[in-house]
Amino acid sequence: MTSTAQELHPAPVLAPGRTILELRGLEKRYPGTHALKPVNLAFKSGEIHAIVGENGAGKSTLIKLLTGVMPRTSGEVIWEGQPAALATPHEAMALGINAVHQEVVLCRHLTVAANMFLGEENSRFGILQQRAMVKDAQKIIDDLGFDLPAHVTLGDLTIGQQQLIAAARATVRGTKFLIFDEPTAYLTRKEADQLFTLIRRLKGEGVTIIYISHRMEEVFELADRVSVLRDGTLVGTRNIAETNDAELVKMMINRSIEQVYHKEHFTPGAPILEARNLSGKGFEDVSMTVRAGEIVGLYGLIGAGRSEFVTTLYGRHRKSAGQILWEGKEVQINSEHDAIKLGMALAPESRRDQGLCLNLSVGLNLNLPIYKRISNNLLISSAQEKTQADRQIADLRIKTPTRGALASSLSGGNQQKIVIGKWLAHGAKLFIFDEPTVGVDVGTKAEIYRLFGALLSKGAGIILISSYLPEVYELADTLHVFRRGKLVATHGFRAASHEDILTQALAEKQEKLGGQI
C-alpha cells in the first residue's frame, strides 16, 4: 500500500445537506452504568456538529460506538442509507469514519511519520520506505500548517503536539466523517487556531465533522449545529445561530451558572515559596514568590517550561542553579517526598502518565497520598478509607458507580477530578495545579474554582498553570508569562490585555527581529 500526499482528500460524493449518518435508538450499557440511553440523531453531510454535555454524559461513549471501538448494546446506525454494523475500528475506517480520541492513542516510541502511516505503511517488496514516509508525512504536516518535525519520536512531543499529529493522521485516510473528542484540551490558542483552520478546510472539502468540547466559545466559533447530551440522553439539537451560551449550559446541567470564574481576593500573607534565579532542565533563571492567599498563574505555550519548573520545585527533577526558599528559609528539595513533607502538593499535567493508577479503584487513587494518615503503624482504618474517598467523590461530584470502580472506567473529566481530589484530602500549604481543568465540564469547573477560594481562605497558596488564557487571566492574582523556558513578563490581576499576554507568550516579532532568545 502506498499513500502519497496527492490522494489524501478524495472528494466525498454526497451533496451537502443530505443525511450522511443517522443514529436510531443507539444505546450503550456498561455494567453498572447506562452510559447512552436510546439516542436518535441525524448528521448532515458537510456540517460541523458540536456535541456538548457534562462529564460522564456519554459523549466519548457515542464516539466509541461510531468508530467501532466498543460494541453497542442496541439500536441502529445508518451510514449513507445503509445499516452499518460498525463492529471493528477497521470497518469504521473503511467507511470513512475516523476519530481523534480524547486520549492520544498512538505509539509513543515510534516516530511521527511511522504513527501517521501506522497500518498503511509505504513498503516495497516488504521493505519499509522509511525516507519516503518521513518525506510524505512532513509534506502533510507542512500542508496543514503545523510546525512539527516528522522524523522525531512521538513521545518527545508535548501532549498538545501529539494531539495535532493525531488530527493530521485522521485526515490522511479518505475521511468522510471525522470526529474530534476534546481536541483542544491540551492545545494552546495558537495550536488551536491551526486546528480550527484544518477543520474548516476539511469542511470546505465536504467532510462531516463532530466536534466535542467543554469550551462554549469554540462551539460558537466552529459549529453549524450543536447537540446536548445529559446523563446519556439527547436533550436537544440547535442551530448555532438560534442558541446561546446560557441556553446550552442550562440544557447541559439543568440549572444555570451565573459565574464560572469565581474569584475571591484575599490580602496576601507571608511568602510561602520563593524561587530565586532557579534553573533546571527546560527553564532558566526563573524567580517568583508565592504568598499565602494568592493564586500565581503561569501562562505560556505548551513546552515553555512551566511544567518543568514546577516539577523541579516539587523535587521530581534536579535544579541546576538557584535557590528555593520555603517560608523564608532556604531548602534543599531532593525528592517529591521532601516537597510533600514541606507542604507542597502537585496535581500533574498528564492524568494518564502522571496522575492516575488507571487499573486500580477510584478509592485507592483518591487515598494514595493520605494512607499514612489513615493508618496506624500497621493497619489501614477501613472506615476512614471509605469516608475519605466518599467525601471527595461527593464534593467534586465524581461520577462513578462506586468508590471500588476502576479509575479507567471513568469518563475523562471525572478522572481529572480524582487527580485534584486526592490532594484536597491531603491538604497542603502550596498547591500546584498543572492544567487542572483539562476536560472538566463547566459546572465542575466553577466548583473547582470555588474550591480554590476555599483553599486560599485557609491560608494556602496556589500555583496555577494553564494553557487556556481565560482561566489564568480571570483567576490569577499574579500572572507570569513563560516563553521558551524564561519568565518574560509579570502582570497583576487582569492588568494586561489578552492580546498583550499572547504576544508576550509567542513573541514571534521580536524573535524575527533577532530578539534576545
Partner 1 sequence: MSTEAIAVEKPKRNYNVLFGLTLLALLVLLWIVLSVATPSFASGNNLANLLRQGSMIAIMAVGQTFVIITGGIDLSVGAVVGFATVVVAMMINAGFPIWLAILVTLLVGVAIGMFHGFGIVKMGLPPFIITLATLTSLRGIGLLMTNGNSININSDTFTAFSRNSFIGIPNLFWMVILVGIPAYVFLHHSRWGRYLFSVGSNAEASRLSGVNVQRTIYMAYTLSGLCAAFVGVLLAARIGIGNPTQAEGWELQAIASSVIGGTSLFGAVGSVHGPLLGAFILATINNGANLLNVNSFWQRIITGALIIIIVYFDGLRRRGK
Cα distances from 74 to residues 24, 25, 70, 263, 480, in angstroms, run 9, 7, 12, 46, 51
CB of 66 to Mg ion, least distance (A): 13
The values of phi and psi at residue 354, to 5°, are: -120, -20
Task: Write each residue from 102 to 131 as x if it is in contact with ligand ATP (CB under 6 A), else as -, in one continuous string.
Answer: x-----------------------------
Beta bridge partners of 212: 51, 181
- Helix 159-171 × helix 130-144 angle, to 10°: 100
Write out the H or E segment, with its range, that includes residue 225.
Answer: strand 225-230
Which stretch, 49-57, 84-92, 242-250, 266-274, contacts ligand ATP (CB under 6 A)?
49-57
Question: Is residue 30 within the footprint of ligand ATP (CB under 6 A)?
Answer: yes
Q: Which does 300 bind (CB under 5 to 8 A by kind): ligand ATP, Mg ion, partner 1, none?
A: none
Q: Identify the bridge partners of residue 180 per DSSP, sorted by sequence position.
A: 100, 211
> Does residue 35 touch ligand ATP according to CB under 6 A?
yes
- Under the binding rule (CB under 6 A), the answer on residue 319 touching ligand ATP is no
Residue 403 interface partner, choices ligand ATP, Mg ion, partner 1, none, CB cut-off 5-8 Å depending on type: partner 1
Which residue in 319, 399, 429, 480 binds ligand ATP (CB under 6 A)?
Answer: 399
* 169 is an interface residue for ligand ATP by CB under 6 A: no
Stretch that binds ligand ATP, among 114-122, 241-249, 386-394, 407-415 (CB under 6 A): 407-415
- Whether the CB-CB separation of 463 and 309 falls below 8 Å is answered with no
Helix or strand run (H / E) with residue 394: helix 382-395
Whole-Å CA distances, 484 to 152, 279, 326, 466, 508: 19, 13, 26, 16, 12
- The stretch among 112-120, 260-268, 405-413, 430-438 that binds Mg ion (CB under 5 A) is 405-413
Q: Which does 61 bind (CB under 5 to 8 A by kind): ligand ATP, partner 1, Mg ion, none?
A: ligand ATP
Q: What is the SS3 assignment for 35? A: strand
Name the 3-class secondary structure at 56.
coil
Is the Cβ of residue 189 or residue 386 nearer to partner 1 in the bound state? 386
Closer to partner 1 by Cβ: residue 428 or 472: 428
Q: How many residues bind ligand ATP (CB under 6 A)?
A: 21
Rounded Cα gap, residues 236 and 27, in angstroms: 17
Give me the least distance between CB of 440 and ligand ATP, in Å please: 7
Complex with Mg ion: residue 186 or 299, whichever CB lies closer: 186
Write the DSSP string, 83-128. Answer: E----SHHHHHHHTEEEE-SS--S-TTSBHHHHHTTTS--EETTEE
Of 12, 46, 58, 485, the one binding ligand ATP (CB under 6 A) is 58
Helix 442-457 with 245-253: angle, nearest 10 deg: 90
> Residue written as cell 493530521?
168
Measured distance CA(297)–CA(481) in Å, rounded? 8
In 359-434 the beta strands, taken as DSSP E runs, fall at 430-434
414 binding ligand ATP? (CB under 6 A): yes
Q: Decide whether 301 or 410 has the Cβ nearer to ligand ATP.
A: 410
For the chain, the 3-state helix, strand and coil shares in percent, each to the nearest 5, are 35, 25, 35
In the block, cell 485534584 appears at: 420
Stretch that binds ligand ATP, among 57-65, 81-89, 418-426, 500-508 (CB under 6 A): 57-65
Site for partner 1, rule CB under 8 A: 31-32, 314, 316, 336-337, 340, 346, 348, 353-361, 364, 367-369, 371-372, 375, 378-380, 382, 386-387, 390, 393-394, 401-404, 422
Which segment (55-63, 242-250, 252-260, 321-329) binds ligand ATP by CB under 6 A? 55-63
Q: Quick check: 412 binds Mg ion (CB under 5 A)?
A: yes
394 interface partner picked from ligand ATP, Mg ion, partner 1, none, CB below 5 to 8 A per type: partner 1
* Contact residues for ligand ATP, defined by CB under 6 A: 30, 33, 35, 53, 55-61, 102, 399, 409-414, 439, 441
* Contact residues for Mg ion, defined by CB under 5 A: 60, 102, 411-412
